[in-house]
Amino acid sequence: MTVTAAGQRRALNVTLRTDQVGSLIRPEALVDARRRFARGEITHEALVELEDRMVLEALAAQEAVGIGVVTDGEMRRQAWQTDLSDAVEGFADEYPVEEVVLADGTTRRMRMHAKVVEGRLRPRRPIVAPAARFLGEHASRPFKVTLPSPVRAAHQGFRAGVTDRAYADRSELLADLIDIYVDEMKELATTGAAYLQLDEGFIGYVSESWRAELADSGVDPEAGLERDVAAENAVWAGLGDVEIVRGAHLCRGSQTRSGGTGSYDWLAERLFDRLDVDRFLLEYDTERAGGFEPLRFLPKGKIAVLGLVTSKFPRLETEEELLRRIEEATRHAPIEQLALSPQCGFAGVSDVAHMTQDEQWRKLELVVSVAEQVWG
């Protein structure tokens, strides 16, 4: 019997018990080369040659660890969302500096990695498809490609008094982003990617205070979420019926950021069933994510990837800790609808890491070891 593309997609989704969010710690040589390139000391060709080598080394290391799906570690990115503004005309030249609340409650002025939209958006080149093609040529196991969510880009990119010179409102900006992403999805469908992931489209909705701010600005959170879900679903529709697993990452930020604090309950009840993805990658490494109760909203056929291993601190979790927490999660969702991963990437910004590369690999080895005990 012939297995349809959709059938193959479902098969990969349910057998993929070890996952990862995307970024890996960049070797110091690559961090230094990117700084030298920014200063005009090396050519773009020299930087790309080094990136290629670093990606190949990252692939070999991931394959040695045995993780279920490999990535390029985002070795070619300054930060997890910078490919978008690099590839699309209309964003500001410089990244904004904003005052942010840190996880410890203090504030600090920090350079963001999401640019404000100043003009009409026009693609200069594909966003991540060239990187995906390189993976397709060199990866020996299923590979994942990640993109910043267009919903996130519309939220972060729209600034009153600036963006509204080009777009009347955020919805109009989001419409142009959808068109750009649909074209990107069609391109990615030809690269051999087994798995695509959109990052951080909905995490703001976790926070009750953020939803209150939306309401105060005249936006009903229920209606806003419905519009944002429709936008991401339109992007996923660009893939058509192809053999690619679709995932959404919902994280609470890094060691320095405290966004999205609170239980997934409100969001899970409204998102898990409506968003056209196969997998939800959820942060569960600390208490700020709440308990596993929101997993009760997970529809049949979808997987919740439990981010139980932290990328924020070098301490290595024990097998006993992870096995106990997975057992707790099964009180709210069946074991066949669960998988295991770190809660976030290991270096969402290229020159920021919270552990060594060796500590990173030990954490991924732990994910594989525990998954083998649980799912075989």
Q: Which residue has the higher pLDDT, 38 or 289?
A: 38
pTM of the model: 0.93
Residue 66 zone, left/alpha/beta (φ > 0; ψ -120 to 50; rest): left
Q: Which domain holds residue 323?
A: 5-80+125-375
Total of domains in the chain? 1
Q: With bands split at pLDDT 50, 70 and 90, how would you rate the model's confidence at 1?
A: very low
6 vs 145: CA distance, rounded Å: 19
pLDDT above 90 as % of the chain: 79
Residue at 105 is within a domain: no
What's residue 263's pLDDT? 87
69, 123, 166, 175 from 169: Cα distances, Å: 38, 20, 9, 10
Residue at 236 is within a domain: yes
Q: Are strands 107-111 and 97-101 parallel, antiparallel or unpaired?
A: antiparallel
Residue at 116 is within a domain: no
Which amino acid, one-letter code, is at 56? L
What's residue 2's pLDDT? 36
Q: With bands split at pLDDT 50, 70 and 90, how would you rate the model's confidence at 253?
A: low
Residue at 96 is within a domain: no
Domain CATH for 216 = 3.20.20.210
25 vs 7: CA distance, rounded Å: 34
Which amino acid, one-letter code, is at 152? R
Q: With bands split at pLDDT 50, 70 and 90, how would you rate the model's confidence at 259?
A: low
Q: With bands split at pLDDT 50, 70 and 90, how would you rate the model's confidence at 101?
A: low
Select from 154, 348, 360 the least CA-distant residue to 251: 348
Residue at 114 is within a domain: no
30, 72, 79, 282, 314 from 51: Cα distances, Å: 7, 10, 14, 29, 25
Is the pLDDT score of 295 beyond 70?
A: yes
What's residue 252's pLDDT? 73
pLDDT tens digits, 11-21: 899 999 999 99
Task: Quote the mean pLDDT of the chain.
Answer: 92
